[in-house]
Structure 1
Amino acid sequence: MKKPVLIAAGVAVVALAGTLLLKKDDEASVAAAAGSALVAVKVPALGDEALKGEALFNDNCASCHGKNAAGRDGNGPPLVHKIYEPNHHADGSFYLAAMRGVRAHHWPFGDMPPVEGIREDQVASIVTYVRTLQRENGIF
């Protein structure tokens, strides 16, 4: 009688340990997904102004909008997205967003604060970079 009870207890312990290990793996997967890119972005060869914009984007925007403007899960939307095509969001909207911030209206990421210390000429370079990425990815 003791042997079946011990076997059942052993099976229960192994099952519990397996469940805990799987749960830990799932939590790690969720943590890894947070901050991951939201869209795939093809990056073309960049001209001088776009390269300057890339550096400025990485310093001022990528923490929320992700590397290559692909967005970051849980942080900010991708700018290489049809919502930001020039006919819907003209270049001026990028200037206003950077200088004044913007209220959330397309995405559930919350309001975007102004980018501290950014200048209009720097935003112009960032816009060149983002528009170059958009064109390469079929967003006109």
Structure 2
Amino acid sequence: MNLSQQIPKVLIVGLLLGGVSVVANNMLSGSSDTSIIDVKMPQQLSKASQQGHKIFSENCAACHGENGAGSDKGPPLIHNIYNPGHHGDMAFYNAVTNGVQRHHWSFGNMPPQPQVTRGDTGKIIQFIRDVQTENGIRYQAHQM
């Protein structure tokens, strides 16, 4: 193999190692402001979604990231795994009330959030669903 054939492989390995280094550094530094995904926000939110956004920011964003983009502490909620056909609204109510055992991601278990009322949870769900819709996430029947 000549030098011109080796250079692309060296670049690929270098880029991969660099990316792993950045992720590891963020995880070791305790940084939780690194989003897992990019989230496109709706230009306008309904009153319920605005309230849900505020409640989400105060109670959920520390783990699930700003606007549900995920962090090194919790999964993104603006993700097709959480489309209404796979995780209906009741799944969110149950998660807030009872917590959730880790099953899709490797972040660990989610503890119950007793400080979040059922009414507040409904507003959070409205916010999440509106942002999901803006990001092309729609109902898909769950298939197992």
Pair 1:89-2:87 in alignment: yes
After TM superposition, give the deviation of residue 33 of structure 1 in Å.
8.6
The Cα offsets for residues 32-62 of structure 1, whole Å up to 9 and x where unpaired, read as: 6942100000001111000000000001100
Q: Deviations over 1:82-114 (max 9, x none)?
A: 000000000000000001000000000000000
Cα 1:33–1:118 change in 2 (3 A) is: closer
Structure 1 residue runs without a partner (length 5+): 1-25
The correspondence for 2:107, drawn from 109, 114, 130, is 109
AA partner of residue 30 (structure 1): N
- Count how many residue pairs are aligned between Structure 1 and Structure 2: 114
Secondary structure at 1:68's aligned position in 2?
A: helix
Q: Distance in 1 between matches of 2:55 and 2:70?
A: 16
| Match 1:80 to one of 59, 78, 81 | 78
1:71 aligns with 2:66: no
Task: Report the counterpart of residue 55 of structure 2 in structure 1.
Answer: 56
Aligned-partner Cα distance in 2 for 1:117–1:49 = 19
For residue 47 of structure 1, what is the aligned residue in structure 2?
46
Where do 5+ consecutive residues of structure 2 fail to align? 1-20, 139-144
Q: Give the aligned partner of residue 25 of structure 2.
A: 30
Backbone CA RMSD of aligned residues: 1.9
CA deviations 1:5-26 (Å, max 9, x no partner) are xxxxxxxxxxxxxxxxxxxxx6
Partners of 2:81 and 2:31 lie apart in 1 by: 22
TM-score under structure 1 length normalisation = 0.77
The CA deviation at 1:116 is 2.6
Which residue is 2:134 aligned to? 136
- Return the alpha-carbon distance in structure 2 between the equivalents of residues 111 and 82 of structure 1: 20
| Richer in helix (by share) | 1
